[in-house]
Amino acid sequence: MPPGLEQALSSSLHNRSGAGTAIAPSATSDPGVGTAAVESIGEVTDVPAGAALESDQRRAAEMQGWWHESIAKNLRPDGYVNVAVLLIRWADELDDLRTSPEAKLESVFRERYNFHTEMVQLNVDTKPQLQMTRHLSTFVEQYDSPDSLLIIYYSGHGVFYEDLGYLEFTSSLNWHKQKGFPQEARVNWTKAEEALHSDDIESDILVILDTTYASNSMKSKQTVSNREHKQFELLSACGMDQTTASPGDYSFTRALIDALVELVMESGDRSFSIFQLNQRIVLDKRRYDTPSQLWSFSRNTERQIRLARLKRNEKDARPNNSSLCRWAQGHLTLRLALRDRWLHREQIELMARSLTKTFSDRPVFGVRSIEWVGYSTTETFSVGTIALTVLAILHWKKLVLRTRQKRDMRVQDKEHAQLQGKRRRGDSTGGDGVSKKLHSDVP
């Protein structure tokens, strides 16, 4: 490169960065550069591409979060017309954990979220296993529809049989010592839960287990279905092979109640995911020792179950199996070429509001959801970026040239030293020979 151009580029660089300051390109100044090396006061500053990529990923995730919040404000979350909750516990005379105070959860779902709620108590008048099966099937039959979310909650003892591979609900860990009861107060939950995985069920399902070894039920589970519209999630009080606190101030249910109340107050009419709910529970200092776990049985992990307060007219609406299916029968992907590298929150909210209004006012489209699938940026190069790149190349070439010259000089010095040594040894040997010959000629 001609010296004049190099000097102009160097001057431009210092005018932008300030004398004596090493700079690197950023998303606001020179987008599209992953790595740059800039000379400043004889030093080279490297900006790794990995750090820039991580920053871009965080920004894209933040934009996606803004989109979900904005869509939730303007479009009913996941199309749920009805949310029904079935709460299961043991009858008071059998329940040695005394879980009745945890029943406050039922009022939170009913009063704060406007969900349909049903509380059932298992007893030993008949086989508890058959009672569980009947309660689940009746609940599903009554509330199942493509526009519904079904929540099943249990609080009580749990035992996991590793050799048999199933989770058991029981009223007492010492049930065999209880006298006067004709049936054993225990239920094979793994067996009962199988009915909830039927492809005949159209609703999304959320299971909440406040019991010991709650996550162990995942050990024998497979993906629920190949159909991507079905969502099935498990929120468990503890991890694999872990126990959890008994009912009281430190219980999972108490933390769940507090988290549900806080989130509905903070969110208003907006929805929040079960992931956010679990995150709020995990961050509760009362639950540091036994963090709860969230599991998904679904293949489609892009869509998550979300909760929001239902409006009164939505709560009163009964399931209608003849209604239009909420499941997507097709997907349309559009690609928008944007002026800006990144979108601000106000831009995303305006876009979400405009799109939902457009499609909501025109039912002919039958739009079920508008999902943010991904975001990518275009690699562009500005004049400043080119200047930085050119200077980096020039600096690298100079460094390589200096290194090569030093290496050649060392090789030449070494060869010269070896040659001088040979000459000195040759002169010394020749002189001695002549001297000896002259002395031998003297009589």
pLDDT digits (tens, 9 = 90+) for 254-308: 999 999 999 999 988 778 889 999 999 999 999 888 899 999 887 665 678 889 9
pLDDT of residue 10: 46
Residue 307 to residue 84: CA distance in whole angstroms: 12
The dihedral built from the CA positions of residue 433, 438, 441 and 443, taken in this order, carries a sign that is negative
Domain boundaries, the chain: 1-57+368-443, 76-322
Give the pair of three-digit tokens for residue 214: 């709650």
Residue 232 to residue 200: CA distance in whole angstroms: 14
- Is 14 strand, coil or helix? helix
> Is the per-residue pLDDT at 80 higher than 60?
yes
Query: Per this entry, what is the length of the chain?
Result: 443
> Is the per-residue pLDDT at 389 higher than 50?
yes
CA distances from 348 to 33, 68, 105, 352, 443 (A): 25, 10, 35, 6, 116
Name the least confident of 161-175, 252-266, 323-337, 395-409: 323-337
- Is 365 strand, coil or helix? helix
Q: How confident is the model at residue 64 (pLDDT cuts 50, 70, 90)?
A: confident
Average of per-residue pLDDT values in the chain: 76
Q: How confident is the model at residue 237 (pLDDT cuts 50, 70, 90)?
A: very high
User: Is the Cβ–Cβ distance between 274 and 233 less than 8 Å?
Assistant: yes
> Is the per-residue pLDDT at 430 higher than 80?
no
User: Is the Cβ–Cβ distance between 242 and 293 less than 8 Å?
Assistant: no
Higher pLDDT, 335 or 209: 209
In this prediction, residues 189-198 reach a mean pLDDT of 90
> Is the per-residue pLDDT at 164 higher than 70?
yes
Residues 6+ apart with CB under 8 A from 6: 390, 391, 394
Residue 3 to residue 17: CA distance in whole angstroms: 21
Percentage of the residues of the chain whose pLDDT score is greater than 70: 69
Global pTM reads: 0.60
pLDDT of residue 116: 96
> Is the per-residue pLDDT at 429 higher than 90?
no
pLDDT of residue 249: 85
pLDDT of residue 318: 46
DSSP state of 153: E
Nearest residue to 216 (alpha-carbon basis) of 170, 299, 172, 159: 159
DSSP state of 29: T
pLDDT of residue 438: 44
Q: What is the CA radius of gyration of the chain?
A: 37
Higher pLDDT, 41 or 334: 334
CATH topology of domain 76-322: Rossmann fold (3.40.50)
Residue 82 to residue 309: CA distance in whole angstroms: 11
User: Is the Cβ–Cβ distance between 171 and 122 less than 8 Å?
Assistant: yes
User: Is the Cβ–Cβ distance between 113 and 310 less than 8 Å?
Assistant: yes
pLDDT tens sequence across 119-157: 999 998 899 999 999 999 999 999 998 889 999 999 988
Residue with tokens 């963090």: 291
- Is 15 strand, coil or helix? helix
